[in-house]
Amino acid sequence: MNQPSANILSIRVFGSQVRADADRMSDTDVLVIVDDHSGLAPEKEVLALLPKKYRSNANLSWYGRERIASMFREGHLFAWHLYHESVSIFERDLFFSSLGTPTPYPKAIEDIKSFIAVLGGIAPAIKSAPANVIYELGLLYVCARNIAMAASWHLNATPDFSRYSPFNLPLPIECLAFSKEEYECCMLARMASQRGSNPKSMSVEEAINLCSRVLRWGQQILNTIQAQRLCA
Amino acid sequence: MRVKKKPSRFEMRVSVEREVLSAVNGKLGESAPLFGMTRAAMEQWHQKAAKSIGPGKAEEVYRILLEISRRAELLSDQSRDVFSEERIAPNDDKMLALLNEKLSSL
């Protein structure tokens, strides 16, 4: 195997490819950890180390040694994502293993509140700029998925980072205020915003209605976790 | 006194993107809507805009968009950004003025 540049400490594939729920819409998330203040390494060097099937749709995320270490120390949700759902492509001196287990995720409620705040701004943004509806629906998807990922820390047996995390929360069915079809429409909108693919259309009225339902759902999840913590 | 929480990188990104998308889509939302500020989204817009307003004008607007996105570091699709607390640069007023000027001349 070719040795990558000396500043590369770790290369890992994470996300849907590791969960084995990748589909034609999935890219390959690749984490590259480099030494602090050493700059990036040539992208083709990283790609050359990946199995061939991942090379054409690889999405590289570059992190410095200290940033990743601090995310593990602080119990960042992304550190847990890497801990649970990443596989090694290259490691220098067992760097990733040396990070150990992340601190328990302390900020679920804070993060959920932050996404609820973003959710609350989506309907007004659509009203003031209706032509941005696809972009805003993409944000709706990000908020719903991330609220569910953060909530899964408290509500599920193990944290759930999957694309359909809102549908895997152990809540009464009536709490889920949106359908899979509506959620997938928002997911396609996000892909259009990020990857330039074609979205599925939704009327402004439907989008505004969906926003209010997702917002209510987010608030219910927050209330459930807060009530659960009060009882604990 | 209640201290206002600093916006996350995600919130800042949303604010920057909304400002630019509103300008572009306010003018071209019917024929060539812009869906995002990543390189891939802007390249897709570039192709649609070339058919709608002509390749020369589309290229001029595309270059300004690319520069705005480059300055705010929005070009890549970093889905992990949603939990990041790192800062991003706000929109450059001069670049936005240039974009609006170019759009109003269409």
Tell me how far apart the alpha carbons of residues A167 and A173 are, in angstroms, rounded to a whole number.
9
Tokens 């205020």 found at: A177
Residue from the list A76, A189, A195 with its beta carbon closest to the beta carbon of B77: A195
CB contacts of B21 in chain A (<8 Å) are 129, 132, 135
Region A126-130: what's the mean pLDDT?
97
Q: For the residues A18-44, what does the mean pLDDT come to? A: 85
Contact A29, A14 (CB under 8 A): yes
Separation of alpha carbons B71 and B13, rounded Å:
12
Q: Which residues on A lie below 8 Å from B79 (Cβ)?
A: 29, 142, 194
Mean pLDDT of all residues belonging to chain B: 84
Min Cα distance A176 → chain B (Å) is: 23
For A132, the closest of B8, B25, B41 (CB atoms) is B25
**Average pLDDT in the A69-97 region?**
95
* Angstrom distance (rounded) from CA B90 to CA B72: 7
pLDDT surpasses 60 at A89: yes
pLDDT at B9: 78
Question: Which residues of chain B neighbour A204 with C-beta distances below 8 Å?
Answer: none
Q: Which residues of B touch A124 (CB under 8 A)?
A: none
Determine whether A104 is exposed, middle or buried from the number of CB atoms within 10 Å of its CB (0-12, 13-18, 19+): exposed
Work out the minimum CA distance from A192 to partner chain B, whole angstroms. Answer: 6
Q: Is the pLDDT of residue B33 over 80?
A: yes
Nearest to B59 by CA among B46, B72, B77: B46
Q: Which among B35, B76, B82 is the nearest to A135, CB-wise?
A: B35
pLDDT at residue A1 above 70?
no
| ipTM higher than the 0.90 cut | no
Record: contact B35-A196, CB cut-off 8 A: yes
- Asked if B20 and B67 touch (Cβ cutoff 8 Å), the reply is no
Contact between A99 and A78 (Cβ < 8 Å):
no
Backbone angles phi, psi at A225, to 5 degrees: -70, -40
- Interface residues of B toward A, Cβ cutoff 8 Å, are 5, 8, 10-11, 14, 17-18, 21-22, 25-26, 29-30, 33, 35-36, 38, 40-45, 76-80, 82-83
Cβ contacts (< 8 Å) between B82 and chain A: which residues? 142, 146
Look at residue A135 and give its three-state secondary structure: helix
Lowest mean pLDDT among A111-115, A205-209, B9-13, B17-21: B9-13
Task: Give the pTM.
Answer: 0.90
Instruction: Count Cβ neighbours within 10 Å for each residue of A155-190 and write b for 16 or more, e otherwise.
Output: beeebbbbbebbeebebeeeebbbeeebbebbbbbb
- B25 CB neighbours in chain A (<8 A) are 129, 131-132
| H or E stretch covering A206 | helix A204-231
Q: Determine the angle formed by the axes of helices B9-28 and B93-104, rounding to 10 degrees.
A: 20
